[in-house]
Amino acid sequence: VFSPKGATMAGITAVAAGLKNLSQINEQLAESMIPLKAYVDGGTLEELREQFVALEYDSSHSAEEMAAGATRWVKYFEGLRGNADAIADVTKSSNDFAIVLGKTSNEAASYQLKIAGAYHQTALQAKENSTIIINATKKSTTTYDEMAQALAQTANRAQNAGVSFKELAAATSYGTSTFGSASEAASAYVMMMTRLSAQSKNEYNPSVVGATKALQNLAKSHEMNALLTSLLGKRQASLAKVFVQGAANIKQMQQGLDDETSAAKTLAGAESKIEEQEKRLANAKRALAHEINVNLTPAYANFLEDCSSVIKTIGNWGTTIKNSLKSTLQWINSVDNAIKDSTIYKLFG
């Protein structure tokens, strides 16, 4: 038997459950923004919240993830702290990089910034590190994440030896087919360059002539094996020979590492995967919840109080329900067709 009173109470319970979930989602975002308060003022923080939610509508990364990544960026780059647009921009670069890596925005940012720290880069250069890593990986036999890890782990030693980031990326990419992994290739290359930078023959010293030129000069020697052995020792010479013989290829591979169009195609391919599309749909709902809750929180508190009264007293339920739903329904009627055609419970319950 259908009961109007029972149906109404079920509706109240459903809407209340949906609104409670909205509140929980909003609290999660608020908590994730707390670390940013140590670096940005209240106005910038509010702008960032809005921008993260706007990005969340069409991203496989949540606004909470973005807040974690952004915190890493502003912790490192003081100059970003008063500019919400700039912070959102570098955070989006980490979002995009993370999609290719299969990691979180925070993890992607850690790779970008570890390299930035080694090479004393600007925020713009740090942002572009992801492009170089993606394009280097495409020319290698390794994965995007392994390449990123290898380059981030060896960047500091490479810079100390006089090796540029592009030179490191190209040589690591080239060496993967011989050494079997980006980590092994990067370690062997950096070890060689470190040894060469410590010796006195300038034409072979990457700190003096650059890593690419040092390899080319070594490759010109008619007594390559003997020369490498005298400079590096027998064991290291056999490993270094791989890079010396590939000097011309490594130089060529440096071309195009900063090609943003090529990296964008890789990103588009990663975004087209079913699992990424599912994440984007889920985050679009979260973004809507974040926007709803900003406006709805006061109404939500009043609504729960009125619902409690209804449940306890039943009494004149028609009038009470009408009054308790009024503020909520007024807001719901003001939002777009997605809400008009659905209930909060269907979307978020």
Q: Kindly report the average pLDDT of the chain as a whole number.
A: 83
The reported pLDDT for the residue numbered 16 is 45
pLDDT for 293 equals 56
Q: Read off the pLDDT of each residue in 307-330 and give the average, rounded to a whole number.
A: 44
Q: State the Cα–Cα distance between residues 16 and 29, nearest whole angstrom.
A: 20
289 is written with which tokens?
A: 């919840």
Residue 27 has pLDDT above 60, yes or no: yes
CA distance linking residue 285 with residue 291, whole number of Å: 10
In the prediction, which pLDDT does 339 show? 40
Q: Is the pLDDT of residue 19 over 50?
A: no
Separation between Cα atoms, residue 178 and residue 29, nearest integer Å: 46
Instruction: Determine the average pLDDT of the residues in 150-155.
Output: 98
pLDDT of residue 281: 87
As a whole number of angstroms, the distance between CA 37 and CA 44 comes to: 9
How many separate helices (H) and strands (E) can be counted in the chain?
Answer: 19, 0
Per-residue pLDDT band for 23 (boundaries 50, 70, 90) equals: low
Q: Which DSSP symbol is given to 296?
A: H
Provide the pLDDT for residue 290.
Answer: 76
pLDDT of residue 288: 81
| Angle formed at CA 246 by CA 240 and CA 251, multiple of 5 degrees | 115
pLDDT for res 202: 87
The reported pLDDT for the residue numbered 294 is 53
pLDDT in tens, 28-82: 888 999 999 999 999 999 999 999 999 998 899 999 999 999 999 999 999 999 9
Q: Is the pLDDT of residue 322 over 60?
A: no
Percent of the chain whose pLDDT exceeds 90: 64
pLDDT grade for 24, boundaries at 50, 70 and 90: confident
CA 278 to chain centre: 18
Contact of 72 with 107, CB cutoff 8 Å = no
For residue 124, is pLDDT > 70? Answer: yes
Q: What is the pLDDT of residue 4?
A: 52
Which residue matches tokens 């909520």? Answer: 328
Residue 289's pLDDT is 76
CA dist., res. 164 & res. 184, Å (int): 18
Q: How far apart are CA 15 and CA 19, in angstroms?
A: 6
Q: Which residues contact 245 (CB under 8 A, 6 or more apart)?
A: 219
pLDDT of residue 298: 47
**For the chain, what percent of residues have pLDDT higher than 70?**
76
189-199 pLDDT, tens digit per residue, is: 999 999 999 98
What are the pLDDT digits (tens) for 228-258? 998 998 888 989 999 999 999 999 999 999 9
Residue 216 has pLDDT above 90, yes or no: yes
- Average of per-residue pLDDT across 215-228: 91
**Mean pLDDT, to the nearest integer, of 122-142?**
97
Whether 12 shows a pLDDT value over 90: the answer reads no
Amino acid code (one letter) for 336: D
Q: What is the pLDDT of residues 75-87, one digit of tens each?
A: 999 999 999 999 9
pTM of the model: 0.78
Mean pLDDT computed over 118-146:
97
Q: Which residues contact 169 (CB under 8 A, 6 or more apart)?
A: 132, 133, 136, 147, 151, 254, 257
